[in-house]
Amino acid sequence: MPSLFRVGSYLVFFWSNENNEPIHVHVCEGVPSAGATKVWLTSMGGCIVANNNSRISAPSLLEITDIIAAQHLMICDAWKRHFNITDIKFYC
């Protein structure tokens, strides 16, 4: 489970087995769990919240998604390295 970065007490990460899904990250407070909030990355450099299973407050989630969007290239590079791929599949 590669940890990418922290936003305050929230951890942004992805699992090692993402089942060939489009690029996305998970966000949780504390220990990562399968029910963590999921955020898709878009081909245009933004992101979309797929679910907020971690029940992150709206203001915190907005801050986190802004930072995820700002780190889009870094996340894409980490995804490529971790999964040993050259092309990324985006949600949209």
Assigned domain for 49 exists: yes
**Residue 26 structural domain:** 3-83
Condensed to tens digits (0 to 9), the pLDDT of residues 11-21 reads 999 998 887 89
Put simply, whether the predicted model's pTM sits higher than 0.95 gets the answer no
Residue 57 belongs to some domain of the structure: yes
Rounded-to-integer distance, Cα 71 and Cα 74, Å: 5
Question: For the chain, how many structural domains are there in total?
Answer: 1
As a whole number, mean pLDDT of residues 66-79 equals: 97
Q: Which of 17, 77, 66 is nearest to 39 (CA)?
A: 66
Helix axes 72-83, 58-70, angle to 10 degrees: 70
Residue-averaged pLDDT of the chain? 94
Residue 91 lies in a domain: no
Environment class of 83 (CB within 10 Å of its CB; exposed 0-12, middle 13-18, buried 19+) = middle
Judge whether 12 and 23 are in contact, CB under 8 Å. Answer: no
Residue 89 belongs to a domain: no
